[in-house]
Structure 1
Amino acid sequence: MNIILDPFLIYGFGSFKGWGVAGAAIATLTANLLVTLLFIMKTKNLEIISKKSVWNSRLMKEVIRLGVSITIQRVTFTIISIFIAKIIVGWGADAIAVQKVGIQIESISYMTIGGLQGAIAAFFGQNYGARRLDRIQQGYRKAFALTSIFGTFISLIFILFPQQLFSLFLTDDTSMKLGEDYMRIIGFSQLFMCMELMTVGAFNGIGKTHIPPIFSILFTALRIPLALLLSEPFGLNGVWMSIALSSVFKGIILVIWFRKSLGSIHKSLAIS
């Protein structure tokens, strides 16, 4: 819904001239309202909280402990994105519009792998509780293979057909040129972004929810100085490069760290 509404409400169609930035906000709000409505419709007949349930402070503390680091990560990501947007706005409204539409196209990657991330977290959680490290290792290998195939495919699509993708949403020459550069540069990071998201699910499944936010905050924050540094020789493309490079770093390091974590878990289970 967001992908469909963005170009129409920002730029308009026919006699409708569009609402610019306000149109982008309305598109996002509409999509969020739709999702909320669907959730309400889906759960209205489900008893989410039993009438007989009581507050369990121990479980509440455990939920907060597991969730607080993820919350900090997401809030930090939003704050950093605001700074990046402030840098991009120096190249005008077209640059902001291109990034907005580009992010929506890129959501093909992270929404798809986001589904796999949730499945991995549940699968790993079950087997970690059952002390079945062999199934965790096998599951990670298969998930990694699926992610690599999908990520490589998306990367190739973005790199080889950026103009065709962007022309579905924007048609003016300036936006098309900026959008083509954006898609091609971001395309080189898609495989690594998919690896990162899948591995975050793996870490969440074994209860180490604090590890991904450490690297995510560090390398996402690195986008700001990288954007300022690379924009000097490469202009706006330097900003896109900073985003792509941070995703590459996060993907590689998280995969290596998770494999090391599996080794530590294997030793601890062997000792116990």
Structure 2
Amino acid sequence: MFNNLVQTLYNLADTYWVSKLGTLEMASITLVFPVIFLTLSVGTGINVAGTALISQYVGSNGEKDATRVATQMFSFSVILSIILGIIGYFSTPYIVKAMGGNGDVFTYSTEYLSIMFWEIPGMFLFLVYTSIKQGQGDTVTPMVLNVMGVILNIILDPIFIFTFGMGIKGAAIATVLSRMIFALYAIYTLFAQKNGIYLDKNNLGLDRKTLGEIISIGLPASLGQSAAAFGFVILNGFVISYGADTLAAFGIGNRINSLILMPVMGIGNALATIIGQNLGANKKDRTTLAFKTSMKLSTIFMIVGGIILFTVSPNIVSIFVKNDPEVFRQGTEYLRLISASLPLMGFFQVFVGTFQGSGHTIYAMMMDMGRLWGIRIPMIMLFKKYTQWGPSGVWYAMVLSNGLICIFGLIVYLSGKWQEQIIKKKALA
């Protein structure tokens, strides 16, 4: 949970300092954030596959196989992240233009996104490190490095933005430096150690069989999150059609909402490891107990969080908005509506954590894609055409889509298909 809080603080630090520059700058980073998430989703797929495979190998006492998977994840991630970073950097202006950015928003978005693409290798490397540690049940070490990274980012943000007068570009540079420094250190520690799960420098060459394992599990997760991220690109296109004020309010609300969701995201990540290790040890009864316990915890956290968020929404939004009453009004309305649906987001995270930890990532992919493309975006289009709700129609569609997709997750859970081992045949051999 604390690790997810730290991840959120990375974004909140940028949001806070950029909001001091103005509404257009705030709208600009909101516009391009889904693009960063879209690219990151590819690395997240590798992370999900690594956690599932490593945790199940650990549960079945297969540390050598786990080390093999970890090393291949590293090699593949390095190559892929560099390619994605280069492509993204040179295509930034076309991406921003296609998303509807124009005028000052186009200029600021292009400046910010082109630099943020150089963060991709650092993000991918740290995802590899996190999945290796989480697969063994160690969530503390990644959290410590994340804390150090976010502290550095908070220090560097105002220095680059204001002291050096770099504006929105300074926020991006501070984030890239903070991420890269600690990602490289984290990977170094995995090469240096020789016990537990580590990176084997003698097996860095790509192995087709192992990569096949990783891709077969990671691809559905990547596709699901990529589709979700691209859906948010489309969603931002709808939001910006209501004006820069609405987009800025949406961005501020999402950052704050991410902070409240931190506990259930932590529960989902921990649940993935627990599900994987117990399936590896063939203890299905414990996976069921872990699921039910996670549901209870997430419900409690989200009810409490929703009450707090509803009560203090105006005070929180006012931290980011000083002289723009329309952004303040819309941001407050969005947060108050979302606060009522927070338990649904808790259920969603638990379902996704269960399916990802078991290695049956196809179900997580269906939830990610279905929520946005099958329900939310069609609802937004219908509400915009047939109602007079304005920007509120977007908020209503978000709440309804969260509830409907959780019904699908419950059906899959009750089927029990997610409890089949993904390493069963190899372990028996």
Under a length normalisation based on structure 2, what TM-score does the superposition of the two structures give?
0.56
Rounded to whole Å, the distance in 2 between the matches of 1:32 and 1:233 is: 42
2:404 to 237, 242, 249: 249
Tell me the residue number matched to 2:342: 190
RMSD over aligned CA atoms reads 2.6
Tell me the residue number matched to 1:6: 15
Alignment of 1:25-174 (within 5 A): 26=168, 27=171, 30-47=174-191, 48-53=198-203, 55-171=206-322, 172-174=324-326
Rounded to whole Å, the distance in 2 between the matches of 1:12 and 1:261 is: 51
Q: Could you give the per-residue CA deviations for residues 193-227 of structure 1, whole angstroms, max 9, x where no partner exists?
A: 12111221111122211012113212211222211
Rounded to whole Å, the distance in 2 between the matches of 1:114 and 1:35 is: 20
1:228 to 376, 381, 396: 381
Per-residue deviation, 1:157: 2.1
Partner amino acid, structure 2, of 1:252: I
Per-residue deviation, 1:18: 7.9
**Contact 1:70–1:210 (Cα < 8 Å) also in 2:** yes
Tell me the residue number matched to 1:199: 351
Tell me the residue number matched to 1:270: none
Rounded to whole Å, the distance in 2 between the matches of 1:18 and 1:173 is: 15
**Contact 2:355–2:364 (Cα < 8 Å) also in 1:** yes
Per-residue deviation, 1:260: 2.6
Per-residue deviation, 1:19: 4.1
Q: Does the C-alpha gap of structure 1 residues 177 and 115 become closer, same or farther in structure 2, counting only changes over 3 Å?
A: same
Q: Does the C-alpha gap of structure 1 residues 33 and 112 become closer, same or farther in structure 2, counting only changes over 3 Å?
A: farther
Partner amino acid, structure 2, of 1:167: S
Partner amino acid, structure 2, of 1:225: P
Rounded to whole Å, the distance in 2 between the matches of 1:145 and 1:224 is: 30
**Contact 1:196–1:252 (Cα < 8 Å) also in 2:** no
Bigger drift between 121-130 and 252-261 goes to: 252-261
Per-residue deviation, 1:29: 6.2
5+ unaligned residues in a row in structure 1: which ranges? 266-272
Tell me the residue number matched to 2:363: 211
Rounded to whole Å, the distance in 2 between the matches of 1:225 and 1:178 is: 22
Highest RCO, 1 vs 2 (Cα 8 Å, sep ≥ 6): 2
The DSSP-based 3-state class of the residue aligned with 1:91 is coil
Partner amino acid, structure 2, of 1:46: L
Rounded to whole Å, the distance in 1 between the matches of 2:181 and 2:406 is: 34
Rounded to whole Å, the distance in 2 between the matches of 1:55 and 1:9 is: 41
Per-residue deviation, 1:115: 2.2
Q: Does the C-alpha gap of structure 1 residues 38 and 263 become closer, same or farther in structure 2, counting only changes over 3 Å?
A: closer
Q: Does the C-alpha gap of structure 1 residues 55 and 80 become closer, same or farther in structure 2, counting only changes over 3 Å?
A: closer
Per-residue deviation, 1:182: 0.5
**Contact 1:193–1:250 (Cα < 8 Å) also in 2:** no
Q: Could you give the per-residue CA deviations for residues 135-170 of structure 1, whole angstroms, max 9, x where no partner exists?
A: 111111111111111111222222233212211211
The DSSP-based 3-state class of the residue aligned with 1:43 is helix
Q: Does the C-alpha gap of structure 1 residues 31 and 154 become closer, same or farther in structure 2, counting only changes over 3 Å?
A: farther
Tell me the residue number matched to 1:268: none
Q: Does the C-alpha gap of structure 1 residues 197 and 31 become closer, same or farther in structure 2, counting only changes over 3 Å?
A: farther
Rounded to whole Å, the distance in 1 between the matches of 2:12 and 2:217 is: 32
Per-residue deviation, 1:51: 2.5
